[in-house]
């Protein structure tokens, strides 16, 4: 009798549940584990022994799970790291008590750190019956080694389509209009950069290139003189040359030591109006809509998220497989997008940040290069067929509420 647990952590995405669905589906095709348990609210709920049984999920539920946004098992912000040996001991006890052999942890780089810490702890204590496997997810796309992260592409697609559509709205009047879209992206500019797939962005401000106020004001003034309209996209994590966030006035702390940002667009709006550079300005902060807008899932993204879950399960049937994250490697060549799944050491991913390449940014905040567009385009391809009722998508009831 052996079981596995799958749990989700950190900020949810529009396709994070597809990885759960893939693990469950793989176990139905090869029942290596007698049970697939869902751990509720991440490692926090696992430590409280809060589980649901996902083993015999129907195919219909599996399909609905794939189209349901946000973490159906619930999430947490609790970080289990090397310092928390009591938690690690307790987790091992709980896994053994429930005959759990493998913990699949779906999350960002904090979660990969948890996977690395647990597998190191197990190795150091001669524990061979408990294994830990990481599955990446993050809308921020900032994990190293993997070509990209499940969840990113769907958020990127929603941002690009929203940019395109609001650009059409911004331009209908002859009067002057500045529009500022703010995207997520605490440290990396991937999501903001993806807005440029719309080919409508005049000025792009990402964390990777310091914000120079004077040059920004000149660029906006030039664009307004030319067309009377200006479309600006800014990352929440955009910062000045001294490293201070544009949104610094509103910076708080999320308990992980990360600044909680918001307000870069409002800062720019105030700057443009107070300097008289613009007379009218609208802002749009997509907030959590950008990571949960599953009605615009990329088919590529949701398929890869599902298959990554399957791959993680299949690799875990090797009893030496632990402390690994399953990632994505892209085959070279633009015309035929093709990926393989790879296994990488979780500690090589944990706590690193993959920035948007500065070489993919045009000079003077003018957007992204063709190389960046070639990277992005295949990721946002395709629209899944959704199961709908009364005009809206059908979603499963979250397991943490069942």
Active site residues: 140
CB of 151 to a second copy, least distance (A): 12
Q: What is the enclosing helix (H) or strand (E) of 309?
A: helix 299-315
Q: What is the dihedral sign for C-alpha 300, 65, 349, 30?
A: negative
Q: Using CB under 8 A, which of 2, 287, 358, 402 touches a second copy?
A: 287
Token readout for 363 is 């000079």
Report angle CA 87, 109, 138 to the nearest 5 degrees. 125
Which of these segments, 112-120, 121-129, 345-353, 375-383, binds a second copy (CB under 8 A)?
375-383
Distance CA 257, CA 251 (A): 12
State yes or no: residue 284 binds a second copy (CB under 8 A).
yes
Write the CA distances from 116 to 41, 103, 271, 277, 327, integer angstroms.
20, 12, 44, 50, 15
State yes or no: residue 288 binds a second copy (CB under 8 A).
yes
Distance CA 33, CA 24 (A): 10
Identify which of residues 291 and 324 has a Cβ nearer to a second copy in the complex.
291
Distance CA 51, CA 32 (A): 19
State yes or no: residue 293 binds a second copy (CB under 8 A).
yes
SS3 content of the chain, % helix, strand, coil (to 5): 40, 20, 40
Distance CA 288, CA 18 (A): 19
Please report, in angstroms and rounded to a whole number, the separation of the first and last CA atoms in the chain: 26
State yes or no: residue 67 binds a second copy (CB under 8 A).
no
Which of these segments, 26-34, 143-151, 159-167, 327-335, binds a second copy (CB under 8 A)?
159-167
State yes or no: residue 161 binds a second copy (CB under 8 A).
yes
CB of 57 to a second copy, least distance (A): 18
State yes or no: residue 165 binds a second copy (CB under 8 A).
yes
State yes or no: residue 398 binds a second copy (CB under 8 A).
yes
State yes or no: residue 401 binds a second copy (CB under 8 A).
yes
Residues of span 189-218 touching a second copy by CB under 8 A: 197-198
Contacts with a second copy, residue ranges (CB under 8 A):
8, 12, 14, 41, 44, 68-71, 74-77, 157, 160-162, 164-166, 168-175, 179, 197-198, 282-289, 291-296, 298, 377, 379-383, 388, 390-393, 395, 398, 400-401
């Amino acid at each position: 009798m052996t079981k596995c647990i799958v749990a989700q952590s950190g900020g949810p995405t529009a396709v994070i549940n597809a990885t759960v669905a893939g693990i469950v589906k793989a176990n139905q095709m090869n029942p290596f584990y007698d049970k697939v348990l869902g751990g509720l609210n991440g490692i926090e709920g696992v430590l409280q022994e809060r589980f649901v049984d996902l083993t015999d999920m129907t195919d219909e539920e599996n399909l609905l799970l794939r189209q349901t946004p946000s973490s159906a098992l619930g999430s947490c912000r609790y970080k289990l790291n090397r310092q928390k040996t009591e938690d690690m001991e307790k987790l091992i006890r709980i896994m053994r008590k429930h005959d759990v052999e493998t913990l699949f942890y779906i999350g960002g780089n904090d979660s990969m750190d948890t996977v690395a810490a647990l597998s190191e702890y197990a190795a150091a204590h001669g524990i061979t019956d408990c294994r830990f496997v990481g599955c990446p997810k993050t809308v921020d796309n900032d994990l190293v080694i993997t070509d990209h992260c499940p969840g990113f592409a769907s958020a990127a697609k929603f941002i690009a389509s929203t940019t395109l559509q609001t650009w059409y709205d911004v331009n209908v009047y002859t009067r002057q209009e500045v529009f500022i879209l703010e995207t997520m992206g605490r440290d990396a500019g991937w999501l903001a950069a993806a807005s440029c797939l719309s080919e409508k962005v005049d000025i792009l401000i990402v964390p990777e290139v310091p914000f120079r106020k004077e040059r920004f004001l000149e660029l906006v003034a030039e664009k307004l003189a030319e067309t009377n309209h200006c479309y600006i996209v800014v990352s929440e994590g955009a910062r000045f040359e001294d490293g201070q966030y544009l949104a610094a006035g509103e910076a708080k702390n999320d308990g992980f030591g990360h600044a909680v940002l918001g307000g870069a667009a409002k800062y720019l709006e105030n700057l443009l109006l107070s300097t008289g550079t613009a007379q009218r300005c609208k802002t749009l902060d997509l907030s959590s809509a950008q990571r949960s807008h599953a009605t615009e899932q990329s088919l590529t993204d949701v398929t890869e998220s599902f298959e990554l879950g399957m791959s993680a399960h299949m690799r875990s049937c090797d009893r030496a497989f632990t402390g690994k994250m399953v990632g994505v490697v892209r085959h070279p060549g633009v015309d035929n997008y093709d990926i393989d799944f790879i296994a990488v050491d979780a500690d090589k991913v944990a706590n690193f940040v993959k920035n948007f390449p500065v070489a993919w940014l045009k000079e003077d905040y003018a957007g992204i290069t063709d190389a960046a567009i070639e990277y992005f385009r295949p990721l946002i391809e395709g629209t899944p067929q959704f199961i709908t009722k009364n005009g809206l998508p059908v979603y499963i009831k979250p397991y943490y509420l069942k």
